[in-house]
Structure 1
């Protein structure tokens, strides 16, 4: 059993708007990559039972080399469950020669309507040992901040 990491952020828009940004390729490309990275999909099939292959490339990899190559992190993501407007469960495998990044991480994106908008909670279970807790928290939080910046008026 691996580590579990969590992060959440209140986004001041309704759940359907947030859910659309979590499930459309164009929106994901605009917000998912944490600060200092850019993203591209090699394939994209966002539906329950679908999958996508995501490549995150570091703007400057000198301080933190990638998991998959000197400057990138590549992951294969399977969509285990989608509850429309509420929840997405993903199973993530990192492409890496380093055993510290092996294993399947389970990412849960949960949306909860609140008076002020939508609380977005991310729960990452069985986080591979090679992913530092602080780095992971910073990355998830950065992505959530990007999501808010994209959606909030």
Structure 2
């Protein structure tokens, strides 16, 4: 059954800095992996029609990965990029488990709000194998990491 998960946070940084962190591979590897994971890109091309391959590795080797015993591999395509406002990606997990099959659409929206920026993430058509509770925690963790990254990044 298709499911939509969301997360949002106000980040005390200007929208242009927040948006820049959504399309820069070095920034993304610093803040996107949820707590307990690290990430690296095999390739990254941030433009409509461009794509990336992201490997997320669990710090705890006992955590179940979707692609390998300790990692998730994400193949994604940039569907739409509106500079300063929105990034839309079609995301697929590399896995032999049909519970993770299908394309999830991830939409990041950036909106100026007073002296900060409202950041919202919406994940549509989340695969059944991803628990709603774990996904909500992961989205919240990534948003908290983004806020911390922008506080320290000058």
Q: Specify the TM-score bucket, using the shorter chain as the normaliser.
A: over 0.9
User: Structure 1 length as normaliser, TM-score?
Assistant: 0.97
- Partner of residue 16, structure 1: 16
- Runs of 4+ with >2 A deviation: none
**Are positions 1:37 and 2:37 aligned together?**
yes
Q: Count the aligned residue pairs.
A: 152
The SS at the match of 1:129 is coil
How far apart in 1 are the matches of 2:49 and 2:94? 20
In structure 2, the residue corresponding to 1:150 is in which secondary structure?
Answer: helix
For 1:95 and 1:118, the matched residues in 2 are separated by 33
Alpha-carbon distance in 2 for matches of 1:30, 1:60: 18
Deviation at residue 48 of structure 1 after TM alignment: 1.1
CA shift at 1:61, angstroms?
A: 3.4
SS in 2 for 1:57: strand
Deviations 1:85-136 (A, max 9, x none): 0000000010000000000000000011010310000000000000000000
Alignment of 1:36-75 (within 5 A): 36-62=36-62, 64-75=63-74
**For residues 107 and 116 of structure 1, what CA distance do their matches in structure 2 show?**
26
Distance (Å, rounded) in 1 between the aligned partners of 2:117 and 2:99:
34
Query: Which residue does 1:113 correspond to in 2?
Result: 112
Secondary structure (helix, strand or coil) at the match of 1:152 reads helix
Question: Which structure 1 segments of 5+ residues have no match?
Answer: none
User: Under a length normalisation based on structure 2, what TM-score does the superposition of the two structures give?
Assistant: 0.96
Q: Distance in 2 between matches of 1:120 and 1:135?
A: 20
Backbone CA RMSD of aligned residues: 0.9
> Where does structure 2 lack aligned partners over 5 or more consecutive residues?
none
- List per-residue Cα deviations over 1:45-93 (Å, max 9, x = no partner): 111110000000000032x300111000001010000001000000001
